[in-house]
Structure 1
Amino acid sequence: MHVAVVGGGMAGIVCARTLLQAGHRVTVLEKSRGFGGRMSTRRTEFGGFDHGSQYFTVRDARFAKALLTAQPIVRAWSVSTVRVLDELGHVLASAPPPTEPHFVATPGMNALVTHWAQPLLKPELHGVSGARALTETRVTHIERDALNSAQWQLRAEDSAGGQVVLGGFDRVVLAQPHLQAHDLLLASGHAPHLRQALAPVQVAPCWTLMVAYPNAMQPGLSHFGPQWNAARSTHHRISWLARENSKPGRERVERWTIQASPAWSIRHLEDDAERVKAKLLKGFAEITGIRVTPAHAVVHRWRFAQTQQPLGRPFIYDDELGIGLCGDWCLGHRVEDAFVSGLEMALAMV
């Protein structure tokens, strides 16, 4: 088969690799400049920010086995014990549950997906054929192939706004957020039953703030900010805070990633970015006590961030039609959920 995989996040790359290893041709199309999806790393002059997924855990034996192929990249991250109270004794933040190890990829979270994507990016170096990866290519339409009605072709836009048509696909996998997959199918006029299957899924947005304090590295400054590195928060604006420079293999500059709560992000989804930044900085100061103006402060809006109601099964697939859908939203919101979904999708096809 020749399979088109739309989306270069964890689910898409795992699906593509599995199909490639089974002897099929694969073309991956990703709208961004690189792979990773929500396992993204924002590079700045002060260092990197994992502004999407902050870490991952390992419960599935297949995920554990796959991680053995990326040992130099995967590192354990020890999270400090913390309990932050407000003036009334209410808990503002506490440490993530210490029941299982936390892992990160180095030098940024996107490194794991990029590592697994190498056979697609550089097939000649990995001794594989039939692999292709296209970045900055946004698929806009799925239609029957003009030369073979039993196959599919994709219409897409490149980074310059030019139109691209790619054909000859026996199968198409949409490894995207569920609403993006729904809208692509709707625009293409295909598979109303697949669109209907997505109805129960609910995914919340997330506003993310990234701040850096390079002056905290000045000689003689023995203490800056809290004595903990990450926390879940019950603050009305913020659900998660992490000191990026505490992660293994990261730059030393003091940097924090702050993620707003799903409820707050929903209410302020269309707010001006500067207004969001000011409100999250205020919440960050209330939790950490850091009231110094950061040298770097930017926000990023994830429209599809954390699954609130998953599909309840690893993927959706119509074998007769030749279209499948996968992603973390099928099973939950963890990195491992995306891995399992992409793997199961590929295995069902082969």
Structure 2
Amino acid sequence: MRLAIVGAGVSGLSAAYALRASKSVTQIEVFEKSRGFSGRAATRRKNGASYDHGANYFYSEDPLIRDIILNQLPTDGLVVISKPVFVFGESGEITPGDLERDRGEKWVYQPGISQIGKLLVAAVPAERIKVHFEKRVASLERAERSARWTLVTTTGDRFGDFDGVLVTAPAPQAAGLVCSGSVESWAEAGSIKQALGAELALGTYNTQITFVLGYDKKLTSELPYYAAVNTDRKHDIAWLSVEDDKEGHVAGGNSVLIVQMASHWSTANYEHSLEDLLPSVTNKVSVLLAGDQWKSPSWSDVQKWRFALPNSRIDTSRGIFATSAAQHGLFFTGDYTAERGRVTLAMAAGLQVASKIEEFAK
């Protein structure tokens, strides 16, 4: 079986990893719209610093996930963030959080959290997997006579003859792929494509803007926490963390803050530029951290996540997903199948869908 995976996020790459020795799925091609692996588990490098501007760390108590991370994949560069996560409410007072809840290890890689996707792909034999970067898939087509799928990109490129397709895009984008494509047998059935698209469209997400603030001074040494999270969702800042606390990310003598804004603020300001928003953000940070030194970063960066965190779950293991879609070799996975945006939950979702693809391929 030849399998196409739309998106190089953690869930899709985990599926590829699970199928690395499959006797039925022998060829996998991954199509990624950007230039890197791991989706929202993303890392950038600027001014000598590495920083994770989406997911900040990962951890799991799931024995299988732990075994993959700690035993099956290389652990060179895998480090633990030692400081705790504190909390704050609408007032902005930062206090110790639930230390019992925060007792789990906070994992990250020295090169950055995106390393997890690279390791998953590297574990698949090179002759079994091919990755296409900067290929944004616009629609899916399937001819009933050949029972093969074709992927059409936004530039008109066509990649075909796939027996199955795994879509890992956020649910609203997955709905667009389904509804814009052509599946001959679905056209005859009348409403299957529309029903599948409608189910996927029910997946909703929080929008989030992430700001990265770099300082040419060490300003974070006295902070007793690695990160602070807003627990009542009433503050304009949802999350603030210190990238210096990740071994190998920031050179000595410098500091880097990750500031993720709340969904209500991010939605209202999504169309504005970094230059327009930066003064307001640095002011909010200086108030939260009680110091004017935070108002003047040496450099900054921004990432806008339209589909940052799912706030609803779609069960793709039943209903039309398990019948009409799966019977045609079309599968779906992503953080929206787990409801919460967690790296290890996305991994688990990828492993689960891999077993369904294996059953289809036999």
Q: TM-score, normalised by structure 2?
A: 0.84
Moved more, 163-172 or 264-273: 264-273
Q: In the superposition, relative to structure 1, how do residues 207 and 325 fare at CA in structure 2: closer, same or farther (>3 Å)?
A: same
Query: Paired residue for 2:306?
Result: 303
Instruction: Report the CA distance between 1:256 and its aligned residue.
Output: 0.7
Query: What are the within-5 Å matches in structure 2 for residues 55-134 of structure 1?
Result: 55-67=57-69, 68-70=71-73, 71-80=75-84, 82=86, 91-92=93-94, 94-95=96-97, 97-119=101-123, 123=126, 129-134=127-132
Q: What is the percentage of aligned positions where both structures have the same residue? A: 25
Code of the aligned partner of 1:329: Y
Query: Paired residue for 2:329?
Result: 322
Q: In the superposition, relative to structure 1, how do residues 309 and 94 fare at CA in structure 2: closer, same or farther (>3 Å)?
A: farther
Q: In the superposition, relative to structure 1, how do residues 189 and 268 fare at CA in structure 2: closer, same or farther (>3 Å)?
A: farther
Say which of 227, 240, 257 aligns to 1:230: 227
- Assess if the C-alpha contact under 8 Å between 1:84 and 1:287 holds in 2: no
Query: What are the within-5 Å matches in structure 2 for residues 144-223 of structure 1?
Result: 144=142, 149-157=146-154, 162-189=155-182, 191-216=193-218
Moved more, 303-312 or 7-16: 303-312
Query: Paired residue for 2:279?
Result: 278
Query: What are the within-5 Å matches in structure 2 for residues 20-39 of structure 1?
Result: 20-23=20-23, 24=25, 25-39=27-41
Tell me, which stretches of 5 or more residues in structure 2 are unaligned? 184-192
Instruction: Report the CA distance between 1:231 and its aligned residue.
Output: 1.0
Distance in 2 separating the partners of 1:337 and 1:196: 24
- Assess if the C-alpha contact under 8 Å between 2:3 and 2:163 holds in 1: yes
Moved more, 323-332 or 283-292: 283-292
Query: Paired residue for 1:2?
Result: 2
Query: Paired residue for 2:11?
Result: 11
- Assess if the C-alpha contact under 8 Å between 1:154 and 1:165 holds in 2: yes
Code of the aligned partner of 2:136: R
Q: In the superposition, relative to structure 1, how do residues 85 and 307 fare at CA in structure 2: closer, same or farther (>3 Å)?
A: closer
Code of the aligned partner of 2:152: R
- Assess if the C-alpha contact under 8 Å between 1:208 and 1:257 holds in 2: yes
Code of the aligned partner of 1:171: G
Q: TM-score, normalised by structure 1?
A: 0.86
- Assess if the C-alpha contact under 8 Å between 1:85 and 1:93 holds in 2: no
Say which of 40, 49, 54 aligns to 1:52: 54
Instruction: Report the CA distance between 1:145 and its aligned residue.
Output: 5.3
The DSSP-based 3-state class of the residue aligned with 1:133 is strand
Instruction: Report the CA distance between 1:174 and its aligned residue.
Output: 0.4
The DSSP-based 3-state class of the residue aligned with 1:21 is coil
Distance in 2 separating the partners of 1:85 and 1:151: 53
The DSSP-based 3-state class of the residue aligned with 2:157 is strand
- Assess if the C-alpha contact under 8 Å between 2:92 and 2:235 holds in 1: no
- Assess if the C-alpha contact under 8 Å between 1:48 and 1:251 holds in 2: yes
Instruction: Report the CA distance between 1:214 and its aligned residue.
Output: 1.4
Distance in 2 separating the partners of 1:90 and 1:281: 14
Query: Paired residue for 1:220?
Result: none
Distance in 2 separating the partners of 1:99 and 1:225: 21
Distance in 1 separating the partners of 2:235 and 2:89: 14
- Assess if the C-alpha contact under 8 Å between 1:33 and 1:136 holds in 2: yes
Distance in 2 separating the partners of 1:85 and 1:291: 21
Q: In the superposition, relative to structure 1, how do residues 340 and 167 fare at CA in structure 2: closer, same or farther (>3 Å)?
A: same
Tell me, which stretches of 5 or more residues in structure 1 are unaligned? 124-128, 218-222
How well do the aligned residues superpose, as a CA RMSD in angstroms?
2.5
Distance in 2 separating the partners of 1:2 and 1:93: 52
Q: Deviations over 1:271-324 (max 9, x none)?
A: 333333222211111111342311111221001111111224668442222111
Query: Paired residue for 1:268?
Result: 269
Code of the aligned partner of 1:169: F
The DSSP-based 3-state class of the residue aligned with 2:140 is strand
Query: Paired residue for 1:42?
Result: 44
Q: In the superposition, relative to structure 1, how do residues 167 and 174 fare at CA in structure 2: closer, same or farther (>3 Å)?
A: same
Q: In the superposition, relative to structure 1, how do residues 189 and 241 fare at CA in structure 2: closer, same or farther (>3 Å)?
A: same
Whichever structure has more helix as a proportion of its residues is 2
Q: In the superposition, relative to structure 1, how do residues 90 and 75 fare at CA in structure 2: closer, same or farther (>3 Å)?
A: closer
Moved more, 75-84 or 168-177: 75-84
Instruction: Report the CA distance between 1:187 and its aligned residue.
Output: 1.6
- Assess if the C-alpha contact under 8 Å between 2:333 and 2:349 holds in 1: yes
